[in-house]
Amino acid sequence: FFWDWDLVTECGHLWVFRSLSETHSLHYIYTALSKPVSLPGIHQFTAMGLLDGRMIDYFDSENQVTVPRQEWMRERLPADYWDRGTQSRKSKQQWFKVNIGILMERMGQNPHVLQWMVGCEGKTNSDGTLRFVRGVHMYNYDGDDFLSFDAKNGVWVAQTPEAQPTKRKWDEVKVLNDYTKGYLENECIDWLSKFVNYDQQQLKKKSPPEVFVFAKKAKVETKLILTCLATGFYPKDIIVRIRRNTRVLTADDGLKSSGVLPNNDESFQRRESVEILKSDLSKFTLGLSSWRRGVHMWNIVDCNYKSHNFVLWFD
């Protein structure tokens, strides 16, 4: 990601960084099995939409209805959008059933999996609009790339010898290739822009993250493990920094990170820990850097454990 704007809060100061642009993506993934399997949660056909890698809608062959997976999808899109989505997924379900049968005849009769991913990526312009960067329209068979669309040249690319008959057939239908190219570069970007806007408006309603500071005994009697925990933030693309006085601590200083972990409410958490001497009189501060639009003022955090009522854990 390139940063479009960045908020950093550290011990009484707020900086706003403006940078290049950020990338967003909208992808739809369809998965079909050649026959049902008796495993919970595994369906013969599934379809899902992903905005920046996060599920926004879902359909499966058992429930036969497209449903929203984000609050803003439910609130902003009318009933006929979901009706059209359901009919579209049902027709694709039938298409997959027919074509997986064709591929089984061509490549063997054992149970198989056919997947299709279609979507686009865009970068924000200075005025906030999105410009097309890349389109994806590809098929995967049993975990291997099978066929993909080259949007630049407007042709299909066979990844295996078995895909050659399909490539030749589809390349003969110029209107299909023109439609595919137009969808990726225009219609998909239009939907991506709309969804990103809805998502960012929803983000503005969210509360700022909570930050907790605590310490526990280290293995060495003269040391403590200082931990700063940031939780309840969204999106997950943040940078967490601990400063000792004015210096940012790194792994060379013994800094350890949990990485970004999910909470059960679709927000995220991250903790940073470092061993310090009990006698250390330095000032420790926590800096949170957001990568996305729509995330506004975050609480200013002082990580100086001596100024907090921290929890001391005895091992």
Query: Per-residue pLDDT tens for 76-128?
Result: 999 999 999 999 999 999 888 888 888 777 766 567 888 999 999 999 888 88
**Whether 157 contacts 171, CB under 8 Å:** no
Residue 83 has a pLDDT of 93
pLDDT band at residue 9, thresholds of 50, 70 and 90? very low
Domain boundaries, the chain: 21-203, 210-313
269: which 2 tokens?
A: 């958490």
Q: Give the β-pairing of 256-257 and 5-10.
A: unpaired
| Mean pLDDT score of the chain | 80
- For residue 186, CA distances in Å to 57, 120, 121, 177, 197 come to 21, 9, 11, 14, 17
pLDDT band at residue 290, thresholds of 50, 70 and 90? low
CATH fold of 210-313 reads: Immunoglobulin-like (2.60.40)
- How far is it, in rounded angstroms, from Cα 299 to Cα 238? 14
CATH fold of 21-203 reads: 3.30.500
Computed over its alpha carbons, how large is the radius of gyration of the chain? 25
180: closest CA among 172, 169, 188?
Answer: 188
**Whether 24 contacts 122, CB under 8 Å:** yes
Read off the pLDDT of residues 171-203 as tens digits, 9 standing for 90 and up. 999 999 999 999 999 999 999 999 999 988 877
DSSP state of 302: B
Q: What are phi and psi of 226, to 5 degrees?
A: -90, 130
**Omega before 161 within 30 of 0, i.e. cis:** no
Q: What are the respective helix, strand and coil percentages of the chain, to the nearest 5?
A: 25, 40, 35
Read off the pLDDT of residues 121-151 as tens digits, 9 standing for 90 and up. 999 888 888 999 999 999 998 889 999 999 8
Residue 216 has pLDDT above 50, yes or no: yes
For tokens 């899902």, name the residue. Answer: 48
73: which 2 tokens?
A: 């999808």
Which of 36-50, 177-191, 224-238 holds the top average pLDDT?
A: 177-191
Residue 289 has pLDDT above 90, yes or no: no
- For residue 141, CA distances in Å to 19, 147, 184, 199, 234 come to 40, 9, 22, 33, 35
Residue 204 has pLDDT above 50, yes or no: yes
Q: What is the dihedral of CA 6, 258, 212, 247, to 10 degrees?
A: -60
pTM: 0.69
Other CB atoms within 10 Å distance of the CB of residue 130: 23
- How far is it, in rounded angstroms, from Cα 93 to Cα 96? 5
Q: What are phi and psi of 13, to 5 degrees?
A: -130, 150
- How far is it, in rounded angstroms, from Cα 188 to Cα 144? 25
Query: Helix or strand or coil: residue 257?
Result: strand
**Whether 42 contacts 133, CB under 8 Å:** no
Residue 33 has pLDDT above 50, yes or no: yes
